[in-house]
């Protein structure tokens, strides 16, 4: 006698219920997985920055002028006006890193920072403190200088540290490194070019003269330096609201002059009160202070350092360092370090 029975299986409703449950689980789990992945990238990036900070300290201990931020030869080279963006942006990334495999784009221009250019890996001072064989390391891409979350400068109307043409292109690919140096300084303009630079931040300063080194930023992810405010000469500029590389609003990773590295909030603030400016004798509207919670760019009361001058006889950059505003002759000029290259 043949037995008969109904074949069992999923009904359409049961299948839809299962699909809905799976979709809900994915919706719950994916953000957690993405955050876990990003945390891993943050940790990797901080390890990179810590190693770069250690290389900078080694450089300072061996360099005759004890410079924690190396002076790349292109930092002290006069650039004609049409190379403005190359000079302005590329020098920040030239302390270390690889030869850039992709061109750096500017308004109607593009520049190569490859191994044949003056910006190649063999010219970047920190590389020899990180790699035994620079040419071989360059061929292997020098990943110490790559942030795994590098997305380049964002396409944002208030981002003025890099040309819009190069927006959303990896700094590591177009500039050779994901990390830029803190080059806080005055520039002497002449037309569309610059004739000299006088540092009021860690660039070009002897390590032993840097106050509060655990707070003075040395290197970091580049969007931070723009999030604290546009470089437009305005005292206490409004912060530029942007997302950092690690998907945190107004926050990126920095390494400081003591070699410590940490995520840092870009809540910009550029004053310490009228009394400090009176001590500087440079006037109450002179925007020399650049500080925020747990970080600073300026070295007040360290006097400053001259970095380069196209005209060695230009008294703006030579002793007695005649102040440019209010007729003052004190900070940051009196007792300034002479690191002209």
pLDDT at position 327? 46
Give the torsion through C-alpha atoms of 214, 336, 277, 311, to 10 deg. Answer: -120
pLDDT at position 231? 77
Q: Is 182 part of a structural domain of the chain?
A: yes
129 touches 95 (CB < 8 A): no
Q: Is 22 part of a structural domain of the chain?
A: no
pLDDT at position 110? 94
* pLDDT per position as a tens digit, 133-171: 998 888 888 999 999 999 999 999 899 999 999 999 999
Residue-averaged pLDDT of the chain: 83
* pLDDT per position as a tens digit, 100-128: 999 999 998 999 999 999 999 999 999 99
The Cα–Cα gap between 221 and 70 comes to 18
The Cα–Cα gap between 211 and 313 comes to 30
Which has the higher per-residue pLDDT, 321 or 93? 93
Cis peptide before 259 (omega within 30 of 0): no
Residue 16 burial (C-beta neighbours within 10 Å; 0-12, 13-18, 19+): exposed
217 touches 182 (CB < 8 A): yes
Number of domains in the chain: 1
pLDDT at position 135? 85
Verdict on whether the full-model pTM lies above 0.95: no
Q: Is 94 part of a structural domain of the chain?
A: yes
pLDDT at position 199? 86
pLDDT at position 293? 87
pLDDT at position 123? 95
H or E element: which one contains 291?
strand 291-292
Which has the higher per-residue pLDDT, 320 or 125? 125
pLDDT at position 161? 92
Q: Is 149 part of a structural domain of the chain?
A: yes
Q: Is 271 part of a structural domain of the chain?
A: yes
pLDDT at position 288? 73
Sign of CA dihedral 38, 295, 299, 47: negative
Q: How far is CA 336 from the centre of its chain?
A: 25
pLDDT at position 53? 96
Lowest mean pLDDT among 198-202, 216-220, 247-251, 324-328: 324-328
Of residues 202, 219, 194, the one with CA closest to residue 337? 202
* pLDDT per position as a tens digit, 228-281: 888 776 767 788 999 999 989 999 999 999 999 999 999 765 656 666 666 665
Decide if pLDDT at 319 tops 60: no
Which 3 state secondary structure label does DSSP give 251?
Answer: strand
Decide if pLDDT at 326 tops 50: no
Q: Show the domain range for 150.
A: 36-338
Q: Is 13 part of a structural domain of the chain?
A: no
Of residues 132, 63, 123, the one with CA closest to residue 96? 123
* pLDDT per position as a tens digit, 283-292: 544 567 788 8
pLDDT at position 261? 97
**CB neighbour list of residue 197: distance below 8 Å, 6 or more residues apart:** 75, 76, 185, 186, 187, 188, 306, 307, 308, 317
Q: Is 294 part of a structural domain of the chain?
A: yes
pLDDT at position 164? 95
Which has the higher per-residue pLDDT, 8 or 185? 185
Q: Is 10 part of a structural domain of the chain?
A: no
For the residues 192-198, what does the mean pLDDT come to? 71
pLDDT at position 204? 85
Cis peptide before 332 (omega within 30 of 0): yes
């Amino acid at each position: 006698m043949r037995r008969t029975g109904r074949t069992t299986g999923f009904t359409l409703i049961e299948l839809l219920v299962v699909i809905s449950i799976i979709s809900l689980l994915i919706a719950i789990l994916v953000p957690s997985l993405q955050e876990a992945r990003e945390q891993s990238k943050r940790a990797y990036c901080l390890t990179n920055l810590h190693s770069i900070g250690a290389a900078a300290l080694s450089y300072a201990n061996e360099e005759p002028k004890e410079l924690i931020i190396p002076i790349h030869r292109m930092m002290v080279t006069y650039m004609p006006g049409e190379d403005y963006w190359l000079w302005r942006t590329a020098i920040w990334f030239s302390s270390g890193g690889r030869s850039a495999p992709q061109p750096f784009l500017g308004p109607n221009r593009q520049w190569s920072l490859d191994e044949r250019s003056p910006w190649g890996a063999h010219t970047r001072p920190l590389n020899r403190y990180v790699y035994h064989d620079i040419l071989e390391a360059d061929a292997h891409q020098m990943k110490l200088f790559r942030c795994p979350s590098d997305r380049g400068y964002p396409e944002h109307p208030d981002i003025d540290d890099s040309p819009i043409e190069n927006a959303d292109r990896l700094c590591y690919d177009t500039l050779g490194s994901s990390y830029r140096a803190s080059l806080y300084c005055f520039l002497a303009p002449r037309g569309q070019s610059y004739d000299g630079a006088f540092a009021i931040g860690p660039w070009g300063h002897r390590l032993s003269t840097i106050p509060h080194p655990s707070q003075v930023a040395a290197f970091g992810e580049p969007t931070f330096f723009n999030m604290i405010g546009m470089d437009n000469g305005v005292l206490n500029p409004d912060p530029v609201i942007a997302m950092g590389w690690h998907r945190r609003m107004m926050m990126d990773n920095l390494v400081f002059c003591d070699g410590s590295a940490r995520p840092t909030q870009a809540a910009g603030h550029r004053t310490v009160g009228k009394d400090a400016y009176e001590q500087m004798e440079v006037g109450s509207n002179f925007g020399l202070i650049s500080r925020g919670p747990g970080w600073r760019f300026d070295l007040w009361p360290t006097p400053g350092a001259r970095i380069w001058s196209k005209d060695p006889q230009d008294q703006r950059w030579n002793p007695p360092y005649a102040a440019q505003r209010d007729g003052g002759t004190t900070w940051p000029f009196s007792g300034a370090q002479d690191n002209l290259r």
